[in-house]
Structure 1
Amino acid sequence: MTLAPSLVPARRVVPFVRDLAVHGDRPAVVTTTGEISYADLARRVEEHADRLGTTRRLVLVVGANTVEALVAYLGAVRGGHPVLLAPGGNALAALAQAYDPDVVCGPATGWAVDERRPGSAHDLHPDLALLLSTSGSTGSPKLVRLSHTNLAANAESIAQYLGIRGTDRAVTSLPLHYCYGLSVVHSHLARGAALVLTDLSVADAGFWELFRTARGTSLAGVPYTFDLLDRVGFAELDLPHLRYLTQAGGRLAPQQVRRYAELGRRGGWDLFVMYGQTEATARMAYLPPDLAVAHPAAIGVPVPGGTFRLAPVPDQPDPQVGELVYAGPNVMLGYAESPADLALGRTVTELHTGDLARRNPSGLYEIVGRRSRFAKILGLRVDPDQVETLLARHGVQATCVGADDELLVAVTGQPYARAVRRLVADEVGLPPRAVRVLVLAELPRLPSGKPDLAGLRAQATAPTDAGPPAAPTDAGPPTDAGSLCRLYAQVLDRDDVRPELSFVDLGGDSLSYVEMSVRLEQELGHLPPNWHTLPIEALRAPRRPGGRRRSLETSVALRAVAILLIVGSHIPLFTITGGAHLLLAVAGFNFARFQLTGAGRGDRFRQIGASLARIVLPTVAWIGAVMLVNDEYRLSTLLLVHSIVGPDDARTEWHFWFVEAVVYLLVGLAALLAVRRVDRLERRHPFALPLGLTALGLLGRYDVFGLDARYDLPAALVAGWLFTLGWAAARAGSVGQRLLVTAAAALTVPGFFGQPAREALIVAGFALLVWLPTVPSVRVVNRVAGVLAASSLYIYLTHWQVYPHLRDLPLLALAASLALGIGYAALAGRVLAAARARSDRAAGWLSTLLRRG
């Protein structure tokens, strides 16, 4: 029952929460399922507040970007209850244990409210409204205590300088439990504007579909968000309602600030660079958009109602630099480090930010370093921020942190650790042994997107020596990720394998995938779905090892079967054709999985280039060697252009039509994906694009241009649709999409050869790829299939020179063809690995010389 207003004790409520209903039928929340009006939101908030009652209690709310979490948070604030807004996962458990909340609101089977006690176990100060984790300490018992005045003042200040209108619609691109993300909610509710509520990443195509559909007007991001925006081609996105971007949560490189500011000028929207800390509720400074191009390194001016001063710093050589100190109504009450601190009132009146700053001649403040981040290494004072800036100028993304006796430098991409170490050591003045470079797939980040310095230190203290390669064993699954890391290091020939990386992160390709899948199944006793994209630490053996069933990855099985059919039919030991065209479909399947990863365009091109090298180099080497001893092949064969230039009467050049087709397809698709719009289209519609390309490829298959396609067009144009349909098979994520790929194969393959058995084989192969990730097997079959699949290209290249001499002994011809191809695969693998190692060393030396220059 709801008490009459006269019987409800006086309680302090934030105005913008109390007055939600004032905005009536105006939309308050927009989701993928529809809109919620302010009137409806106010009703839900009041109902939640009534449920919590009038006795003030400490309410922990799991801050997800969902309607339920938003209502739970606002309802608790509306009821005057102090809210501990927390992330999920391990951090949630740590905070709940440390502060023993009276009520917990969070996801369970849906959304649950767990009332642990009718009253409160705590003495709660009347000004206390909100508890948030400090920046960089998610899950730590140390919390920021914020008052009702803090929340109201900062929301009003932000709404004022951003010029938020009632018609604005801000997307929740940051977590609700992060002060920056929460400030977006507060400032827009304060103006009766709408929130486009989503937990999707800006790297997700669905995010932008929702943004456009909801007519989004603003987007908030930390520096990492802007890296993701670059990856998705933000500059080319059509966002007709966008009014401004905001950036905070860390320093955005000046060149990026200037680039996005200029982009905004051309696009008709503004960039607001902002500065803040949780201790100031959210914002302390902003850079007016019209000054961003001229002053991209500045944080700007204090927010309305706030002031700055520069406090002297001992041993600071520049008298213009001091510690930035902020004062204003949004400064926190103080910290809480235990439940007893919840009874405290205000313990601070101004905020010492810990940032070193100066004021430039234009009156704008600039951050020049972080006082607390300075590290003393071997007696030398080092600023990790300056090291990160140095590396950024050389195109290396890095996060740095000082340890006891060394500087840790985490980098991403494919930099050369030795060159980075020397560059940093020379610039800072440290000996190279005091600089440790960690090459990671992704820099460790907090849920807010900020660098996770604690996580970096943890990675640095983890064992880095992968040790000697682990020999195959029948002793059962590994007990930890360490043995799997050693296995990955052996198969991939990498010395930077870490548990948080996946096969794809480590540069695995379709050839190494075969060996890895077989060895991994041998270790674990099964193959987890999409294991190649899972972190090594996520791979686990079944709980009951005795009941394990052996299986073989379907694409590996098809490669092994196809190469056997190709060689056996050529001898002929039997006549079962269609193996090469089935391999073409599997090649497209693997192209989608290993070349079209979530990496940036540059990394994708490097992956495609590496695949081309692994195909072209051994092919040309073999053909060239054969040409030295006989005249079986011609120059057009060596150059892999026979299907284009002929001659038509050749008897042996058709041997390599399959290799030419794959090479042409990879080159053509790389050129196509070089177009930014196409690259973005593939990321947004990963299934629709290959299906569309398949439809185009069928123009050649059905002789739409009046050509005799089987003879007048290169094989890549005639049979390329099998490759793109295999690509679509890899992207088919729903039952409907799988059915569509299966139907496409069943409708288009029959009639292509006029050989029903051959066509049935290819259709069956597509069905297996689409519907069965693995097939039942036994250990010995797995080992044999793994070797055959990994060597399939090399067997295909070399068998032409073997079986003609042993036609009278077909079984021996088959065995000899397979043996030579497997041997050539082993030799080529060693040569390519040695060449790659020399190339890496040479590139490292060259990089060092260029950077020193």
Structure 2
Amino acid sequence: MTLIGEGARLADTRTGRTLGGRALSAAVEREALALAVLPEGVVFLRAGTDLPTVLRYLAAFESDRAVTLVDPALDSGSLSLLVDRFSPAAVLAAPEGEPPGGYTADGDRWVRGSEGGVRVHPELAVLLPTSGSTGNPRLVRLSRRAVETNARAIADVLGITGDDVAPTSLPLHYSYGLSVLNSHLARGATVVIEPSGLLGRGFWDAVDSYGCTSLAAVPYHYEVLRRLGFDPASHRRLRTLTQAGGKLRTELVTEFDAKMRAAGGRLYVMYGQTEAAPRMSTMPAGRLADKPSSVGPALPGGSFGIRHNDGSETTHPKITGEIVYRGPNVMMGYAQREAELALGEQTGGVLDTGDFGYLDDEGFLSVTGRLKRIGKVFGNRISLDDLEQAVRATGLGIELVAAVPADDKVVLFAEGAAQGVCRMASRALADRLHLHSSGFDVRGISAIPLLASGKIDYQTLVEQV
């Protein structure tokens, strides 16, 4: 299997270097040779948004070497815990400082001594942590088949061709960001490696100078783009936006869909999880005006079911329950320690998503909530996602808000909100839900903390409660 389609190119904004054809193949082969001399076991790659990271990732995939993509911002203590649990053959792009016991420094690598190292399962290709904010995550085990079939399915539904150019608007250790790389290279398109991120300096200059045709973003990015008055028509080739990484407000779906259609472009709303390598559905751009709250049908080769409380499943329309996905892109399973890297496929191609939703009469999915995003207010179970939406709907000008549970109440952090506005928001929630306002602690915050992926860092907010 290969992720590098004919004509694929990498353009690095830092150096101005572009690799394609034989030059790209040769660069990947050089990195593969460096991997081949390492001890047995999985390889850890601290995945920055840079050309060396992309070449090392591609080398691992093309040479059948299992690789774990790690957030480079992970602190040294958390990284050491991961190393201790999984005993990787090496840590590539290792941080400065003394390596853990049993490892020696070799350039920018920590290399394990010859002792130890489990023989990983031959189908295992990529491992991604389930959480970028802690040092004790499970690793999602993705097979080569899962990664490649998902990349090609995404390329098909988005109509990616060799003429497309996509910037790295999301981190590569984040499954959505990695899928942008995979799906474009598989179709022979160009990926522009731009490290500053969608809200960083230089990003939009790169979009224009390299003629980027598409852009991937999460809901928080769309909230900010709206405040900044984003106009796709001002970017000469940018005609495709994609959205995943959480539910985008329906009004923003409608707004950005209209913006893109006015510019002769399209918006695709997608649904996925890391455990599905990572996409499960894509809403056809031409149907968003009809169904702005839907995430569309399952990707080719996949299917959805809805599980009742009694454990039975249905595909009948308008019945709400837990979303279950089946497809060739479902993970092999999780790993919490080194020995589990040797295990084969354990899921049977079935993923219990932990999300609530329903199918309509065309088989289009709507996601209505998350099992774990529940708080309690005076004993009443309340969806935290619904509370965030309710605050936005108060008309108080609060758009960026994050809700977390706190004993028998909910704390809602509202970015840039004054104390008086917060009090009015608390009363508005109390009136709407017929509960006392003390159950809704709305607090102003200068900036909501984000993970590298652009998602809200709820764990940090929980620690501030």
TM norm structure 2: 0.89
Cα offset, 1:457, TM superposition: 0.5
Pairing 1:723-762 to 2, within 5 Å after superposition: none
Question: Gaps spanning 5+ residues in structure 2: where?
Answer: 97-105, 312-316
Does residue 405 of the first structure (1) align with residue 408 of the second (2)? yes
Percent identical residues? 36
1:50 aligned residue: 33
Work out whether 1:69 is the aligned partner of 2:53. Answer: yes
In structure 2, what is the Cα distance between the partners aligned to 1:44 and 1:203?
30
What is aligned with 1:15?
2
How big is the shift at 1:404? 2.3
Change beyond 3 A, Cα 1:187–1:119 = farther
1:27 aligns with 2:14: no
Aligned AA (2:50): T
| More deviation, 45-54/29-38 | 29-38
Aligned AA for 1:321?
T
* Structure 1 residue 414: Cα displacement: 2.1
Structure 1 distance, partners of 2:183, 2:121, is 25
Q: Which whole-Å CA distance do the structure 2 matches of 1:58 and 1:151 have between them?
A: 17
Residue of 208, 215, 227 corresponding to 2:211: 215
Greater RCO, 1 or 2 (C-alpha within 8 Å, sep 6+): 2
Q: Where is the strand percentage greater, Structure 1 or Structure 2?
A: 2
Is 1:36 the counterpart of 2:19 in the alignment?
yes
Distance 1:450 1:113, change over 3 A: same
Question: What is the alpha-carbon distance in structure 1 between the residues aligned to residue 192 and residue 70 of structure 2?
Answer: 21
2:423 is aligned to 418
Deviations 1:763-808 (A, max 9, x none): xxxxxxxxxxxxxxxxxxxxxxxxxxxxxxxxxxxxxxxxxxxxxx
CA distance in 2: counterparts of 1:137 and 1:207, whole angstroms? 25
Name which of 110, 119, 122 aligns with 1:123.
119
Aligned partners of 2:45 and 2:70 also within 8 Å:
yes
Distance in 2, matches of 1:292 and 1:120, equals 53
Asked if residue 195 in structure 1 is aligned to residue 182 in structure 2, the reply is no
Other-structure match for 1:387: 387
Partner of 1:9: none
| Residue identity in the other structure for 1:106 | A
Q: Are residues 236 and 122 of structure 1, via their aligned partners in 2, closer, same or farther at CA, if it must alter by over 3 Å?
A: closer
Q: Report SS of the residue matched to 1:410.
A: strand
For 1:105 and 1:188, locate their aligned partners in 2 and report how far apart those are by CA, in whole Å. Answer: 24
Deviation at 1:203, TM superposition (A): 2.5
CA distance in 2, matches of 1:324, 1:29: 39
Following superposition, the deviation at residue 358 of structure 1 comes to: 1.1
For 2:34 and 2:291, locate their aligned partners in 1 and report how far apart those are by CA, in whole Å.
Answer: 51
Is 1:143 the counterpart of 2:151? The answer is no
CA RMSD of superposed structures (Å) = 2.2
Return the alpha-carbon distance in structure 2 between the equivalents of residues 120 and 184 of structure 1. Answer: 35
SS at match of 1:302: coil
CA offset at residue 168 of structure 1?
0.7
1:309 counterpart = 2:314: no
Could you say if the C-alpha distance between residues 93 and 233 of structure 1 is closer, same or farther in structure 2, counting changes exceeding 3 Å? farther
Shift in Å, 1:113: 2.8
Kept in 2, the 8 Å contact 1:133–1:139? The answer is no
2:412 counterpart letter in structure 1: V
- Kept after mapping to 2: 8 A contact 1:399/1:451: yes
Output the CA distance in 2 between the equivalents of 1:30 and 1:166. 18
Is there any run of 5+ residues in structure 1 with no aligned partner, and where? 1-13, 461-853
Q: CA deviation at 1:314?
A: 6.2
Letter in 1 for 2:442: V
Contact residue 421 and residue 437 of structure 1 kept, 8 A: yes
The corresponding residue for 1:353 is 353
| Closer, same or farther: CA 160–323 of 1 in aligned 2, 3 Å | same
- Tell me: CA distance 1:150–1:346, structure 2 relative to 1, closer, same or farther (3 Å): same
Aligned partners of 1:241 and 1:118: how far apart in 2?
Answer: 51
Contact 1:334–1:348 (CA<8 Å) still a contact in 2? yes
Q: For residues 486-508 of structure 1, what are the alpha-carbon distances to aligned partners after superposition, in whole Å with 9 as ceiling and x for unaligned? A: xxxxxxxxxxxxxxxxxxxxxxx
- Matched ranges for 1:398-797 at <5 A: 398-415=401-418, 416-460=421-465
Cα distance change on mapping 1:139 and 1:40 into 2, 3 Å? farther
Distance in 2, matches of 1:234 and 1:38, equals 35
Matched, 1:82 2:81: no
Q: Quick check: which has more Rg, 1 or 2?
A: 1
Give the corresponding residue for 1:134.
130
Evaluate the alpha carbon distance shift between residue 343 and residue 261 of structure 1 in structure 2; reply closer, same or farther with a 3 A threshold: same
Structure 2 distance, partners of 1:451, 1:314, is: 33
Count the aligned residue pairs: 440
Deviation at 1:31, TM superposition (A): 2.3
* CA-CA distance at 1:140 after TM superposition: 2.9
Judge conservation of contact 1:136–1:452 (CA < 8 Å) in 2.
Answer: no
Distance 1:93 1:223, change over 3 A: farther
The Cα of 1:189 is off from its aligned counterpart by 1.1
Q: Secondary structure at the match of 2:234?
A: coil
Is 1:202–1:229's contact at 8 Å kept on the other side of the alignment?
no
- The Cα shift of 1:118 comes to 4.3
| Pair 1:108–1:95, CA change in 2 (3 A) | closer
**Aligned partner letter, 1:412:** E
- Looking at structure 2, the residues matched to 336 and 135 of structure 1 have their Cα atoms a distance apart, in angstroms, of 13
Cα 1:433–1:202 change in 2 (3 A) is: same
What is the 5 A alignment of 1:236-251?
A: 238-251=234-247
- Cα distance in 1 for residues equivalent to 2:119 and 2:33: 21
- What does the per-residue CA deviation read over 1:73-104, in whole Å, with 9 as the maximum and x for residues that have no partner? 11122222111100013254442343221111
* Conserved 8 A contact 2:130-2:137: no
- Give the match's secondary structure for 1:388: helix
Identify if the C-alpha distance between structure 1 residues 420 and 181 changes in structure 2 by more than 3 Å, giving closer, same or farther: same
Superposed CA deviations along residues 638-673 of structure 1, whole A, max 9, x for unmatched, are: xxxxxxxxxxxxxxxxxxxxxxxxxxxxxxxxxxxx
* Residue 343 (structure 2) aligns with: 344
Work out the CA distance in 2 between the residues paired with 1:297 and 1:246. 15
**Distance 1:56-1:97 versus aligned 2 partners, 3 A rule:** closer
CA contact (8 A) 1:62 1:92 kept: no
For residue 50 of structure 1, report the CA deviation from its aligned partner: 1.0
Aligned to 2:375: 375
Distance 1:233 1:111 in 2: 45
Query: In terms of mean alpha carbon deviation, does 34-43 or 269-278 score higher?
Result: 34-43
1:87-142 Cα distance to aligned partner (Å, 9 max, x none): 01325444234322111111658972332234752231122111101156653331
Paired letter, 1:45: V
**Counterpart contact for 1:105–1:111, Cα < 8 Å:** no
Counterpart of 2:204, as a letter, is W
The aligned residue for residue 100 of structure 2 is: none
Checking the alignment, whether the CA contact within 8 Å between 1:30 and 1:194 is kept in structure 2 is: no
